[in-house]
Amino acid sequence: MGAARRFKQVDVFTKVAFKGNPLAVVLDADGLSDAAMQAMARWTNLSETTFVLTPRDAQADYRVRIFSPDTEFPFAGHPTLGTAHALLEAGLVPRRAGTLVQECGVGLVPIELGADGALAFRAPAASLAPLALQHQPLLARVLPGAALDMVCTPLIVTMGIAWLVVRLGSAQACLDARIDGAALQELTQLGVAGVAIYGPHDGADPADYEVRAMFTKHGSLVEDPVTGSANACIARVLQAQGFPDGGETSRAYSARQGTCLQCDGRIAVSYVDGEPWIGGHSVTVIDGVVRV
């Protein structure tokens, strides 16, 4: 049996347990091998499990490695917020008041601590590339019959993890969209993790945008409850495309994700000095130790 290590399972992008995206966090991971980390991530079978390590960079408060059941990611959004939440709850005192600095595969990621308990990370730098014309028919097969808003070009956005970001004509079109898993599996051959679709709500709704993120796992279609990296990619796309909705969305907006899964993830996006920050709340569901 392995050593007892502090462990939490948290729900991210929600104030209400079981409505967000779950994350497993091992708080004392120094000494664990790559194989042990991957084995535990496979065992938890969550979209991600994180392992907190002593930082190598003097500017960082901690270092984190992020594993899915199958591989390691250099960066992911909901693991960033969930790990920070778990560490703060466990008593970590930031080196700089009001800000944590996470070291991960994409470098240093600052995380702001909100007065209401919300956390927000600055979206890493991203590369944006239009989906090539020869792949447009494939996109049509991925989203058969969907009301795509082709005024905003579908973009492959890469920030450690890559998403194809596609805008639909409305939030309802986003909710109604059907996804062809076989076509999406073919799309991933272009080097993307999956497709992130979004559409604007009208003024009467509780969020500015509806978001969905889909990928394939072992050949099966999976929809993610709430996705920090996909929302960060969408934030970069909105900025690059000149905030087509205008108004306040050029400075801050809100998004909802998980509706089709009976979840209610809430994401707050703001732009500070031209950089998007992706924020939300987290709640701890399991708090104890794991022997690994």
Active site residues: 48
- Please, which residues have CB within 8 angstroms of residue 9's CB and are 6 or more apart in sequence? 22, 23, 24, 25, 284, 285, 286
Angle, alpha carbons 28-226-286 (nearest 5°):
40
Q: Are 174 and 198 in contact (CB under 8 A)?
A: yes
Sign of CA dihedral 72, 74, 78, 79: positive
Strands 119-122 and 275-280: antiparallel
Token pair of 31, please? 């000494």
Q: How many CA atoms lie within 13 Å of 278's alpha carbon, on the beta-carbon side?
A: 27
Chain Cα centroid distance, residue 108: 17
- Written as one letter, the residue type at 258 is G
Copy the structure tokens of residue 216.
Answer: 């394939």
